[in-house]
Amino acid sequence: MASQTALKQRADYTYQYNQHIGRHGWLRLTPAYSVKLVEEILQKKDSELSVLDPFSGTATTPLCAGYRHHRATGYELNPFLAWFGHVKTRHYSSEDLQRLETLTHNIASKLRHSPAVTPCTPPPIHNITRWWDVDELEFLCLLKAAIDQHIQKDASGNDILLVIFCRLLIKLSNAAFNHQSMSFKDKTGNQALPLFKYTPDFTEIFLHESQQVLESAKDNPTGNIHIIQGDSRVLEKLQKESCDLLITSPPYPNRMSYIRELRPYMYWLQYLSNGREAGELDWKAIGGTWGIATSRLTDWERAPNGFYPQYFEQLLTDIAHSDNKNGQTLSNYVAKYFEDMWQHLSHVYRIMQHGGEVHYIIGNSIFYGTLVPVELLYKDMLEACGFRDVIITTIRKRNSKKSLYEFDVSAKK
User: How confident is the model at residue 154, as a pLDDT?
Assistant: 59
Contact 205, 169 (CB under 8 A): no
Spatial neighbors of 286 by CB under 8 A, at least 6 apart, are: 55, 232, 233, 250, 251, 337, 340, 341, 344
Mean pLDDT by 10 residues, the chain (413 residues): 40 33 48 77 92 94 94 96 94 92 94 85 92 94 93 76 94 75 63 61 96 91 95 95 96 85 92 92 89 88 93 96 89 96 97 97 93 97 98 88 90 98
Contact 319, 334 (CB under 8 A): yes
Contact 202, 167 (CB under 8 A): no
- What pTM was computed for the model? 0.88
User: How confident is the model at residue 1, as a pLDDT?
Assistant: 40
User: How confident is the model at residue 153, as a pLDDT?
Assistant: 65
Q: How far apart are CA 77 and CA 284, in angstroms?
A: 8
User: How confident is the model at residue 16, as a pLDDT?
Assistant: 31
Cα separation values, 375 from 19, 230, 307, 336, Å:
23, 25, 15, 16
User: How confident is the model at residue 403, as a pLDDT?
Assistant: 87
Spatial neighbors of 301 by CB under 8 A, at least 6 apart, are: none
Q: How far apart are CA 64 and CA 72, in angstroms?
A: 9
User: How confident is the model at residue 29, as a pLDDT?
Assistant: 55
User: How confident is the model at residue 102, as a pLDDT?
Assistant: 94
Q: How far apart are CA 161 and CA 103, in angstroms?
A: 9
